[in-house]
Structure 1
Amino acid sequence: MKTISILVLNHAVPAAITDARYAFEKVNDFLKARNQPPRFVVQYIADTEVVPLQGGRISIHVDSTLDRSPKSDLVIIPSLAGDMLGATYVNREYANWIAQQYKGGAEIASMCTGAFLLAFSGLMKGRQCTTHWQYANEFAYLYPTVNLVDEKMITDQNGLYSSGGNNAWWNLLLHLIEKFTSREMAILAAKYFVVDIDKDMQSPFIVFNGLKDHDDEVIKSAQQYIEANYAEKLTVDQLADKFIVTRRTFERRFKKATRHTVSEYMQRVKIEAAKKQLEMGRKSISEIMLEVGYVDIQAFREVFKRVTGITPVEYRSKYNNASGNM
């Protein structure tokens, strides 16, 4: 039997808490139907017996409190809502408990923005971690020693797990079910919950918003200029000259503020513009390629796939019913 402890945190997303319990208990049902013993003991844990959520509209009664909880085999940190810095701060007392559980042999899994509390515990230093793509820049700023791989759907390193945005927690739950039971059980759970199994990238879902939550006004102006002129053949030297900064200083400040090199940023802006055209328009992929500033179809395909994880044709098929021609 594996003891699964689901933390009921302040500012937690209720669905993350209930989905986790439902998934593991449903696997117990599957096993029972096959005359096999249950595999999981699932419990809600918090620092108090009742935790109000969503401004008191929901209250969750826990099975055990931190000071009297049995040894856990797996601790699940649910997704957090609202301001991440504030949500982490109000749950800071859990961080040491999480770290002690891991040192005692438990595995730890964070769902979506629960990664902020997992990183706060200190366990992710030097390790890979993913989270909701919308919070990636904030996460990277707060936890620079963590290897953020926000393009990934889940990470799995040394008994530490994380998942990407929102419903990616289902991919994490299926991954954990397979690890603790079998591939067969994971497939059965995927079919029951109608979840695609083995998704490994959240890149196609990422919306590039410009990463402007920094205080370098020169770089913000440069970002706005790039976004307004992405179809032009801009160079780093031209941008540095325009904003009266040496190329070396401009590149250093740009990377520090945005987490991207200037060239990477220009590529991301171009690809985001192409994605919108593929989603909404009826132009051919070749026409879209030219409009966003590419002249080589192979180069465009390669960059598009590197950024989104899929080809332009696959992206159009996924998000637009209208057919397009090459």
Structure 2
Amino acid sequence: MKNITILVPESSVIEAVADPQYMFSAANDFLIANGKSPLFEVSLAALNREVKFNGGMFTVHTDRLLQEVVDTDLIIIPALFGNMKQAVEKNKEALPWIVKHHKKGAEVASLCVGAFLLASTGLLNGKKCSTHWAFYNEFRETFPDVEIMDGSIITEENGLYSSGGANSYWNLLLYLLEKYTDRETAILASKYFAIDIDRKSQSAFTMFAGQKDHNDKEIRRVQEFIEKNYNERITVDDLAQMVALSRRSFERRFKKATDNTVIEYHQRVKIEAAKRSFETSRQNISEVMYDVGYTDTKAFRNVFKKITGLTPIEYRNKYSKAEIS
């Protein structure tokens, strides 16, 4: 048997507690239906016997307290909710427990922004991690020693797993199920729960709003200029002159403030504008390409796919309300 312990933190998302419990319990039923023995012993554990969610609207009754867990093979850390620093603070007493069991051989998987709790243990220092794309900047600032895998759905390193945003955690659950059982059982679960089993990226869902959570006023002024003039031909030298800096100093400060090079930032602003056009207008691909300042179809397609994980045609077909010929 594989002992799976779902940590039930304060300030967590109730679905991220219920879904892994549901999936691994259903996996036992799938195994039994195929003439095999059930494999998973799933339990809920917390600092308290009861954990309230949504301001007391829901209550989860746990199976055991953390100190009552003797051994476990896998710890699942659900997504947190609300202010991440406050959520981690409420659950700081669980951090040594996670570290202790990992040292004893347990694997640990964080779902979505549960990565903030996992990273707070220090176990991810010097390692890679996935989390919700909307929290990348906050995560980088809070945990500078952890490498965010931009756009990635699943990250695995040394028995530590993490997943991308929101429902992306289903892909990590399926990944773990396949690892512990076989491909056949994972495919069956993916069909039962209607999940695309091999989705690798959350890039198509990412909304680029610009990284402005910094104190460099000159760089923020340049960002705002790029965002207002993204369809114009703008050179790095022009932008450097705007803030009276040498090109080298300007590029260094821009990268430090935004975590993007100037060219990367300009590309991401252009592609974000193109995405909005595909979602809301009836313009064809060439019209959108020209509107955002591209004249080379191949270059536009390559940059678009690099950033979103989809070609312009695939993105338009996925998100456009009306089919456009």
TM-score interval w.r.t. the shorter chain?
A: over 0.9
- Matched position secondary structure for 1:6: strand
**Residue in 2 aligned with 1:257?**
257
- After superposing on structure 2, the runs of 4+ consecutive aligned residues of structure 1 that deviate more than 6 Å are none
**Residue in 1 aligned with 2:84?**
84
**Residue in 2 aligned with 1:149?**
149
Indicate yes or no: 2:164 matched with 1:164.
yes
**Contact kept in structure 1, 2:7 and 2:76, CA below 8 Å:** yes
Indicate yes or no: 2:5 matched with 1:5.
yes
- Matched position secondary structure for 2:192: helix
2 CA distance for matches of 1:36 and 1:242? 69
1 CA distance for matches of 2:313 and 2:324? 8
Indicate yes or no: 2:134 matched with 1:105.
no
1:323 CA displacement: 3.6
TM-score relative to the length of structure 2: 0.97
Partner amino acid for 1:166?
A
**Residue in 1 aligned with 2:46?**
46
Q: What percent identity do the matched residue pairs reach?
A: 52
Gaps of 5+ in 2: none
Gaps of 5+ in 1: none
- Matched position secondary structure for 1:170: helix
Superposed CA offset, 1:288-316 (max 9, x none): 11111111110111100100111001111
- Matched position secondary structure for 2:75: strand
1 CA distance for matches of 2:105 and 2:142? 27
1 CA distance for matches of 2:287 and 2:184? 46
1 CA distance for matches of 2:175 and 2:188? 12
1:232 CA displacement: 0.7
Indicate yes or no: 2:210 matched with 1:210.
yes
2 CA distance for matches of 1:310 and 1:135? 22
**RMSD value over aligned CA atoms?**
1.1
Q: How many residues align?
A: 325
- Matched position secondary structure for 1:155: strand
TM-score relative to the length of structure 1: 0.97
**Contact kept in structure 2, 1:285 and 1:324, CA below 8 Å:** no
**Contact kept in structure 1, 2:271 and 2:304, CA below 8 Å:** yes
**Residue in 2 aligned with 1:181?**
181
What does residue range 52-131 of structure 1 map to in structure 2 within 5 Å?
52-131=52-131
2 CA distance for matches of 1:84 and 1:220? 25
Indicate yes or no: 2:138 matched with 1:133.
no
**Contact kept in structure 2, 1:129 and 1:150, CA below 8 Å:** no
1:77 CA displacement: 0.4
1 CA distance for matches of 2:40 and 2:5? 10
**Contact kept in structure 1, 2:280 and 2:321, CA below 8 Å:** no
1:143 CA displacement: 1.2
Superposed CA offset, 1:189-237 (max 9, x none): 0111111111001111101011112222222111111100000111111
- Matched position secondary structure for 2:221: helix
1:90 CA displacement: 1.6
- Matched position secondary structure for 1:293: coil
Partner amino acid for 1:262?
V
1:286 CA displacement: 1.1
**Contact kept in structure 2, 1:150 and 1:164, CA below 8 Å:** no
Superposed CA offset, 1:149-199 (max 9, x none): 131111112211101010001101100110111111100001111111110
